[in-house]
Structure 1
């Protein structure tokens, strides 16, 4: 937490009664130190240099005494025992960054090359850096020019967004212009469906003065990444009261934007009474350990350390740890450290606990392996995660069964009923599309290699061909998504043209047909009520 006011507001002690030791330690320190605080020798007629030589203990009073380091260690121990804290324990089943909607201006002005290679390409680079910084967080993408469109709804997989981002250019937009207000409405509508507070990031080089008031009135935290060269000004951006951050060659601008958008999310985390406070006492162990080094003297202490080292070296071969981390941490604890650092593949290799291991495999994209591991755990939480893994792996009917199992184990499990309904709709859509397409021999279009889960046997089970064209020669969004030879920019151009031709009230619904490769993923991953225990073992 980098916000100082928020830190001061949240700081407290979990076990404040231990603070009663602080005055006791100070009293003992003063009582031991007091005899050493004698005044200078009052002896008239003695030369100053002789008086200094005859005074005993004067040098010791100016040195650091053993009682000083002992008192400091005891004080740090008392403060650590009191349990200082200023943040909640992170929920491993929830992203640790706020949901965010990235709004990119795709206008002719963004193609200027004063920010090489161009303002638009530099903006795309910054968006990719933003996605990398927020790995695992829910993020959506909106593009606007004369019309505004949802390019991709909320997703946790940043790699899904990259090809859509690359396909954006002014040529794919139906009309020229800069309707930032309409883009803000789309972004706000998506954030309203999220369970956690989120933010909106505008990536643009200019802003129409008419859009300044709507952006300033946004209820969600909003920030702007200015894609203008240093020293240039824009009337709309200058009038905006929301933070406007200039693009920099290094990632400092992205880190600053992430901190601004996460402010409301961090405050919401502090208000979440279901999550326990995180004990920060271990931070005080390091200065205490450094002070403890002052107490080492030549003698029995060092001999004891040598004997302890020899004991570790002479341990039988079968009991020897493979690494230094194994001396102090269990595999589950090492896996938790890797998981917290977002090294999910490494965490999946380390975890022994099947629930944690399955979730780490899921977060690393190994959906089939995750579903197999989670099958060993008979809890609603495991079944829910297994369902998410099956859906992401395109085993839709298996996902339906997993969500049904989760509800059978816990009818009130958060998110299970909603995701079951979504999974059932996906199965129905796939089977209906396959039944309608049949073999596709009359259409004369080559089938792609995409395989769908179709246990009911409706239509062809292994091949799905592209449907025919819609009225006027235009393909629908689903038809374009299912053709393998279509470039991303062609798909976006046609989809945006269809959306722009629809009535305004239907544009928002038509803008969100897919999250991942032609099939919408479940609405969201509800955090589990209780995180599995992975902290048992050595210290």
Structure 2
């Protein structure tokens, strides 16, 4: 079911009692329209050319009259007062897109080069495009061949998937085969704690024996078929779930994203805790335009002069049509709704909204600096999450403590504070065991770490200055010095899991988790009270 069909099914009026006035408006329009029509003048004994000369207004009987515009405006206002709606109010604590488990086939057939550069490489590219489009929604990654393995658990920090995607190849899979059924079962386990979600299956072939398992999956499934044009697969052809053929552009990803989110939107409509969103104010704009057109004759010239006057006004701030209708904060919110966080940060005037947009865009240092101007618990909460993303864990502890000091009951602050403290404790325990300090706050000239808890050994590392030795290593040099490749790590992990037998990846205590368990709540929309 498409989003349009879901909206049509959910459409109703919040205040339908206003609709009883519609027949009265239609009756009034009919009476006035009928009364304005002139009776035909008797033509007996009058020459046709004289009759036409003596008849006034007869040629305008079929034209649009002022009462038509007035009646249309009244009907629009009545419909707006009735409160049309087809969606719930967005929940600021909920994800903006459906949680999705990406299930990718990593089989020998996926190494085929009939889709350049290869089916598997194109699948990795499509997965990265899909993650970029989702804007930080919770996503997990599963790889399968003869066995299925959770590569990355469900997380909102989808950037950590990129190096794991690069390490996927058929050589790292412990068993050959194409067991999509086991992969779908594992995806269901990953999504179970989310409460709802969807599964994206990326494959070039489906065993006919797995068709029933795919169609009986506990979550909605969509398939991205990694097959060149004209190539068919019996198992994929037998599927009744949505199947999208891979395309050179991102049209396939856009279709998949719409289909997967459609089921999520339908589930959100069943959430009775969220009120319905009143769309009635939208109808006030066309009603106002109709009333202005109906006001008096000659309106075309009057509005043209007014438009020229607005364009020529020396003190006008408007730099575009959008500035005539929306404030900077409203324009920023529109950009946020499009997930264009960089433009939103440039549009917002409110520092809280601008700081949150910078945080969503990944500009954590800038977000922390802007939010220093706002003395609210919400600002401190977003600062703390930004500090964790920037690996400033001790500063994150201070930010969450500030949030609790400003509002002891602020949602999620206590949990995030405990998470940040656990991370700091873990780092200090590792330092105690290794006799080294944390190296996450390195400067260009030397590395020196604060030792607030008097734990571990004080360590000071001199870094050669320009002209002294080889200088600091670049990021590429650091990565080239790492002996263990991602593919080697995944090969060893998958082999151990295959030897141990099927496991519940959602309950696996060894599965890697993102350091921040909760997301910073978004700030209120422009015009709402905090």
Distance in structure 1 (CA, Å) of the matches to 2:225 and 2:460: 48
C-alpha contact 2:245 2:252 (8 A) present in aligned 1: yes
| CA distance in 1: counterparts of 2:125 and 2:180, whole angstroms | 21
Q: Deviations over 1:222-259 (max 9, x none)?
A: 12112223443333323433322322344333233222
Deviations 1:110-160 (A, max 9, x none): 112233332222222322332232222221211111222222222334443
* 1:431–1:459 Cα contact (<8 Å) kept: no
Decide which of 354, 366, 371 is 2:368's aligned counterpart.
Answer: 371
Distance 1:252 1:329 in 2: 31
1:251 aligns with 2:233: no
* Corresponding residue number in structure 1 for 2:435: 438
TM-aligned CA distance change 1:452 to 1:402, over 3 Å: same
Aligned to 1:397: 394
Q: Structure 2: how far apart are the matches of 1:153 and 1:284?
A: 45
SS at match of 1:62: coil
Does the aligned pair in 1 maintain the 2:335–2:344 contact within 8 Å? yes
- Distance of 2:179 and 2:448 partners within structure 1: 40
Displacement of 1:274 after TM fit? 4.7
Is the Cα–Cα contact under 8 Å of residues 246 and 252 in structure 2 kept in the other structure?
Answer: yes
Q: Which residue number in structure 1 is paired with residue 176 of structure 2?
A: 176
Distance 1:46 1:32 in 2: 30
In structure 1, the partner of 2:328 is 331
Aligned equivalents of 1:71 and 1:321: distance in 2? 36
Superposition TM-score, scaled by structure 1 size: 0.79
Matching residue of 1:534: 526
What's the counterpart of residue 512 of structure 2? 514
Q: Where does residue 422 of structure 1 map in the other structure? A: 419
Q: CA deviation at 1:11?
A: 1.8
Question: Is 2:214 the partner of 1:220?
Answer: no
Closer, same or farther in 2 for the Cα pair 1:183/1:434, shift >3 Å? farther
Q: Is residue 100–residue 139 contact of structure 2 (8 Å, CA) maintained in 1?
A: yes
1:107 deviates by: 0.3
User: Residues 71-470 of structure 1 correspond to what in structure 2 (within 5 A)?
Assistant: 71-92=71-92, 94-194=94-194, 197-281=196-280, 283-285=282-284, 287-288=286-287, 291=290, 294-295=293-294, 302=301, 306=305, 310=309, 320-321=316-317, 323-324=319-320, 325-326=322-323, 328-407=325-404, 413-439=410-436, 455-456=452-453, 457-459=455-457
TM-score between both structures, scaled by the size of structure 2 = 0.81
**Preserved contact between residue 84 and residue 279 of structure 1 (Cα < 8 Å):** yes
> Is the 2:190–2:506 contact (alpha carbons within 8 Å) kept by the matching residues of 1?
no
CA contact (8 A) 1:153 1:512 kept: no
SS at match of 1:140: strand
1:428 match: secondary structure? helix
Q: Deviations over 1:448-494 (max 9, x none)?
A: x999997434356678xxxxxxxxxxxxxxxx999745443333334
Equivalent in the alignment of 2:490: 492
1:467 aligns to what?
none
Judged with a 3 Å threshold, the aligned counterparts in structure 2 of structure 1 residues 405 and 461 are, in CA distance, closer, same or farther, namely: farther
Cα distance change on mapping 1:314 and 1:213 into 2, 3 Å? closer
The answer on 1:61 being equivalent to 2:61 is yes
- Alpha carbons of 1:155 and 1:461: their partners in 2 closer, same or farther (altered >3 Å)? farther
Partner secondary structure for residue 61 of structure 2? helix
Assess, with a 3 A threshold, how the Cα gap between structure 1 residues 298 and 504 changes in structure 2: closer, same or farther: closer
Instruction: Give the whole-Å Cα distance in 2 for the aligned partners of 1:152 and 1:360.
Output: 26
Higher mean C-alpha deviation, range 335-344 or range 348-357:
348-357
Q: CA deviation at 1:27?
A: 2.8
User: CA-to-partner distance for each residue in 1:280-330, whole Å, 9 max, x for gaps?
Assistant: 345435644664675487758845874786588566x5xx52634555433
User: Which whole-Å CA distance do the structure 1 matches of 2:6 and 2:106 have between them?
Assistant: 36
| RMSD (Å), alpha carbons | 3.8
Distance 1:452 1:115 in 2: 50
How many aligned residue pairs are there? 503
1:326–1:57 CA distance, 2 compared to 1 (3 A): closer
For 1:308 and 1:111, locate their aligned partners in 2 and report how far apart those are by CA, in whole Å.
61
Contact 1:98/1:262, CA 8 A, preserved across alignment: yes
User: 2-side partners of 1:200 and 1:481: how far apart?
Assistant: 33
1:343 to 1:231, Cα distance in 2 relative to 1, 3 A: closer
Structure 1 residues 182-210: Cα deviation after superposition (integer angstroms, max 9, x where no partner): 3223322221222x521011001112233
Distance 1:322 1:44, change over 3 A: closer
Gaps of 5+ in 1: 441-448, 464-479
SS in 2 for 1:101: strand
Counterpart of 1:9 in structure 2 is 9
How big is the shift at 1:279?
A: 3.4
SS of alignment partner, residue 225 of structure 1: strand
Distance in 2 between the 1:501 and 1:428 partners?
Answer: 34
Shift of 1:64: 1.9
Check whether the contact 2:146–2:176 (CA below 8 A) recurs between aligned residues: yes
Q: Deviations over 1:472-531 (max 9, x none)?
A: xxxxxxxx999745443333334333443445447666686435xxxx322232756xx5
CA contact (8 A) 1:481 1:491 kept: no
